[in-house]
Amino acid sequence: MLTHCDSRPADWMRKSTIEGLVALIVGGGSGIGEAAARTIAANGGFTVVADISIDNAARVANDISVAGGNTVAIAMDVSKRADIESTLQQTQARFGRLDILVNTAVLVKPASLETCSLDDWHACFRVNVDSALELARSCLALLRKSPSAAIVNVASLAGVTGYPGGAAYGPSKAALITLSRQMALEWAKDRIRVNVVIPGPVDTPLIRLQVKPDVLIKRAQQVPLGRLGYASEIGDLIAFLASPVASFMTGQTVVCDGGLTQNLFPVPLGQNLADGDT
């Protein structure tokens, strides 16, 4: 016998189910976090755009507000406990609840294992792992009260494969993936879903800062779909996982990479796979 989930309308693709939920997006001032905030807001979610750069957070919140969204920008360094507490106090004061936590904040310290200083190693783990735990734990009390609580963490392919210069970044993202699975398991009893998104190369200020333009072009060519991802493509995935539509998904690691991880021996773009070196 078929049963169906009655917590959302059958025409969910037309009627947003994220409407009225409150989402805290950490790192929401740029790139993937910005895209997630915009998608959630465009679908009726209330957004708290938190970022270490208040200028960027304010820009995003202003755009959302002008488009009719209910939003607030907050200056927050996720690696500072006082900032986390202040952000949650402001969220509660403004909206009285929290349903969704999205964490995209990151620190990258490009280096090889041989040259990576222990200070850089610890700094990466502090922002990418320790803070993810501190942030999520601090949100628990509010999330437990939500009928539709979800956490989405953003990791990286560097957390599942080796990566040039990814000495501290990669292992920290691997830890974030495992941490997210552990959160999912431990907090399932509270009906808090936790999933982690792994983007492939996505055109954001971060990648443009880290990778030289000619290298970026080559990377795009190695993606089977022949291009970098758009931040909005990852933002849409985050919004889906955060929404009640994904109500039976938790503990999942969702890769969104244009097929990059399925491309063991890249062939030049446009060349038929059958024409490859067989």
Ligand X SMILES: NC(=O)c1ccc[n+]([C@@H]2O[C@H](COP(=O)([O-])OP(=O)(O)OC[C@H]3O[C@@H](n4cnc5c(N)ncnc54)[C@H](O)[C@@H]3O)[C@@H](O)[C@H]2O)c1
User: Footprint of ligand X on this chain (CB under 6 A)?
Assistant: 26-27, 29-33, 51-53, 56, 76-79, 104-107, 127, 154, 156, 199, 201-202, 204-207
From 46, 121, 125, 169, active-site residue: 169
- Our CB check for ligand X shows the closer of 39 and 148 to be 39
- Our CB check for ligand X shows the closer of 154 and 192 to be 154
CA atoms within 13 A on the CB side of 40: 38
Residue 224 backbone phi and psi in degrees, to 5? -50, -35
- Our CB check for ligand X shows the closer of 17 and 204 to be 204
Place of tokens 């969204």: 69
Strand, coil or helix: what is 30? coil
Shortest separation between residue 29's beta carbon and ligand X, angstroms: 4
Task: Please tell me the distance from the alpha carbon of residue 184 to that of residue 153, in angstroms, as a whole number.
Answer: 11
Q: Tell me whether residue 163 is one of the annotated catalytic residues.
A: no
Assigned token pair, 74: 């907050």
Cα–Cα–Cα angle for 22, 137, 233, nearest 5°?
50
Residue showing the smallest CB distance to ligand X in the complex: 31
Shortest separation between residue 12's beta carbon and ligand X, angstroms: 27
The number of beta carbons lying within 10 Å of the beta carbon of residue 146 is 18
CA nearest neighbour of 232 among 41, 19, 91? 41
Shortest separation between residue 161's beta carbon and ligand X, angstroms: 12
- Our CB check for ligand X shows the closer of 32 and 64 to be 32
Shortest separation between residue 32's beta carbon and ligand X, angstroms: 4
Shortest separation between residue 189's beta carbon and ligand X, angstroms: 28
- Our CB check for ligand X shows the closer of 148 and 197 to be 197
How far are the Cα atoms of 136, 147, 160, 165, 196 from residue 73, in angstroms, in the given order? 19, 25, 33, 33, 24
The number of beta carbons lying within 10 Å of the beta carbon of residue 63 is 16
- Our CB check for ligand X shows the closer of 45 and 159 to be 159
Shortest separation between residue 191's beta carbon and ligand X, angstroms: 26
Assigned token pair, 213: 């333009």
Task: Please tell me the distance from the alpha carbon of residue 49 to that of residue 87, in angstroms, as a whole number.
Answer: 10
Assigned token pair, 131: 């803070």
Question: Any idea which residues carry the catalytic annotation?
Answer: 169
